[in-house]
Structure 1
Amino acid sequence: MTPPRRRLAITAATLTLAALGVTSCGAVGQAVDCNTAASEASKIATEWSNAITSNPTDQNAFGEASKTAADQTKELAGKYDGEVAAALNDLADGFQTMEGGDLTSATEFTGKLNGFTSKITAACS
């Protein structure tokens, strides 16, 4: 696995772990909402990761996959309010920073990913 692919796989795995980690939400209704939000965010990140790892040197494909992920995450955030929506919008902004196709921004995004997932988890606490 090439280094960019390894970083992208770690990104997808981190989001998946975040989806599993939010099951500790307090109220049952909130737990379901948090699980749904985290699961959908994980699905978006996995689709993004798959899209960019299929051709890791194609800047246009990278930018388009990032734009699609940002749009989908913003749409998901629109279904929620409060801190969950804010956390999802922050994740969307992270995807949006990569829309230009700059492959080095994936490294920065991966470094910030724990912060995004922590916000989603904290919103569910």
Structure 2
Amino acid sequence: MTPPRRRLAIAAATLTLAVLSTACGAVGQAVDCNTAASEASKIASEWSSAMSSDPTNTEALGKASKTAADKTKDLAAKYDGDVAAALNDMAAGFQTMEKGDLNSVTEFSSKMQGFTTKITAACS
């Protein structure tokens, strides 16, 4: 390489490294958010499956809700800021179902979308 080409190559490599280093934080956050949203969705799905397998069993509702709340709290502990807050809100929602109140299952199920929306909003 001639000296001007070498300088251009070094400049291009430096610029590329700077751009990738700057974007890395945003990419890392996006990956973390996707993981958080995916895990939260999995917890909600497991809870829904437990409810649909025996929808009249108050004990099963309480147990599934406690398990979901604990898993969501554990997940929230891995994050900070708005993502953690959204996950903690979701955990609190599951905790309200630990009493086994079958009458509030439908209402809570509709709130589940709101929790998911909060998590997604925290990631954007």
TM-score tier by shorter-chain length is 0.7 to 0.9
Identity across aligned pairs (percent)? 76
* SS of 1:27 mapped into structure 2: helix
Cα contact 2:41–2:116 (8 A) shared by 1: no
Q: Which has the larger radius of gyration?
A: 2
Cα contact 2:61–2:102 (8 A) shared by 1: yes
Specify which structure has the higher proportion of helix: 2
Measured on the aligned residues, the alpha-carbon RMSD in Å equals 1.3
Structure 1 runs not aligned, ≥5 long: 1-25
TM-score for the superposition, normalised by structure 1: 0.76
- Runs of 4+ aligned structure 1 residues displaced above 3 Å come to none
Deviation at 1:70, TM superposition (A): 0.4
More moved, 56-65 vs 100-109: 100-109
What per-residue deviation string (whole Å, max 9, x for no partner) do you get for residues 43-79 of structure 1? Answer: 1111111111111111100110001000100010000
Matches within 5 A, 1:86-105: 86-105=85-104
Determine which structure has greater relative contact order: mean sequence separation of CA pairs < 8 Å that are 6+ residues apart, divided by chain length.
1
- The AA in structure 1 aligned to 2:122 is A
Match of residue 71 from structure 1: 70
Cα contact 2:40–2:72 (8 A) shared by 1: yes
Match of residue 55 from structure 2: 56
- The AA in structure 1 aligned to 2:48 is S
TM-score for the superposition, normalised by structure 2: 0.76
Alpha-carbon distance between aligned partners in 2 of 1:112 and 1:56, rounded to the nearest angstrom: 18
Deviation at 1:115, TM superposition (A): 2.0
Matches within 5 A, 1:75-86: 75-86=74-85
Structure 2 runs not aligned, ≥5 long: 1-24
Alpha-carbon distance between aligned partners in 2 of 1:43 and 1:122, rounded to the nearest angstrom: 18
How many residues in Structure 1 have an aligned counterpart in Structure 2? 100
